[in-house]
Amino acid sequence: MAGGLILIVEDNDKNRKLVRDVLTFKGYEVIETETGEEGVRLALERCPSLVLMDIRLPGINGVEALRRLRAAGTTREIPVMAMTASVMTEDRQKIMEAGFDAYQSKPRHPIRRGRRAAP
């Protein structure tokens, strides 16, 4: 998929920038948005190769956005990876049961020089 189009749906500016920077460095084209509604709209318009979806978003959450993507014929088969700070086993299980193709936990606090930064 190198060079493919990836949609990032993430409301946190710092998290979105980090993911964008890594992906563009690796040669991917990236489009991004902060809301689930806009993520669904962009996916329908651009048909990305992959969607990276936060779960807790303003407006509709990531699970509802996924449901809408799966309901539309043009986006039904696009892989969608959940990105969330919810790391409990039952949270991960609920996310995967919702139909996400993969799950990636986000660090709650940045790590600097081997120690946790203050919240």
State the pTM of this model: 0.86
* 63 to 71, 95, 106, 116: CA distances (angstroms): 12, 8, 17, 30
Whether 91 shows a pLDDT value over 50: the answer reads yes
% of the chain beyond a pLDDT of 70: 87
Tokens of 39: 């993520």
Q: Write down the domain spans for the chain.
A: 5-109
Q: What is 5-109's CATH topology? A: Rossmann fold (3.40.50)
How far is C-alpha 98 from the geometric centre of its chain's CA atoms? 14
Give the three-class secondary structure for 24: helix
Condensed to tens digits (0 to 9), the pLDDT of residues 69-85 reads 999 999 999 999 999 88
Give the three-class secondary structure for 35: coil
Condensed to tens digits (0 to 9), the pLDDT of residues 28-81 reads 999 999 999 999 999 999 999 999 999 999 999 999 999 999 999 999 999 999
Query: Which region holds residue 105: left if phi is over 0, alpha if psi is between -120 and 50, else beta?
Result: beta
pLDDT band, very low/low/confident/very high, at 106 (cuts 50, 70, 90) = confident
The Cα 94–Cα 63 span in angstroms is 10
